[in-house]
Copies of this chain bind each other. A is one copy, B any other.
Amino acid sequence: MSTTTFEVLEEHKAFGGRLVRFKHLSEACGHMVAYVYVPPREAGCPALYVLGGLTASDANCATKLATAQQAAAQHGVVLVFPDTSPREGPDDEHPLLGRGASYYVDATREPWSSHYGMFSYVTDELPRLIEATFHTSGRSICGHSMGGHGALVAFLRKSNLYASCSAFAPVSNPSAIPPPAPAWRAFSAYLGGGTVDDSPDAPWREIWRSYDACELIKAYDGRPLQILVDQGAADPKIHVLGARRLVDAAKLNDKVTLEYREQAGYDHDLATFVATFVADHVAYHASRHQK
Contacts and interface: CB of A to CB of B under 8 A. Distances in A.
Interface residues of A, number: 26
Number of copies: 2
Contact of A13 (B15, B63, B66, B267): B267
Contact of A272 (B12, B232, B273): B12
B14 A275 contact: yes
25 contacts: A12-B269, A13-B234, A13-B265, A13-B267, A13-B276, A14-B271, A14-B273, A14-B275, A15-B272, A15-B275, A16-B276, A62-B271, A63-B64, A64-B64, A64-B66, A66-B66, A66-B67, A66-B271, A66-B272, A67-B67, A67-B70, A69-B275, A70-B275, A70-B276, A70-B279
A220 interface: no
Nearest to A279: B70
A102 to B, nearest CB: 23
A14 B234 CA distance: 12
Contacts of A13: 232, 234, 265-267, 272-273, 276
Contacts of A267: 12-13
Nearest to A277: B15
Interface of A: 12-16, 19, 62-67, 69-70, 232, 234, 265-267, 269, 271-273, 275-276, 279
Residue of A13, A15, A65 ringed by the most chain B CB atoms within 10 A: A13
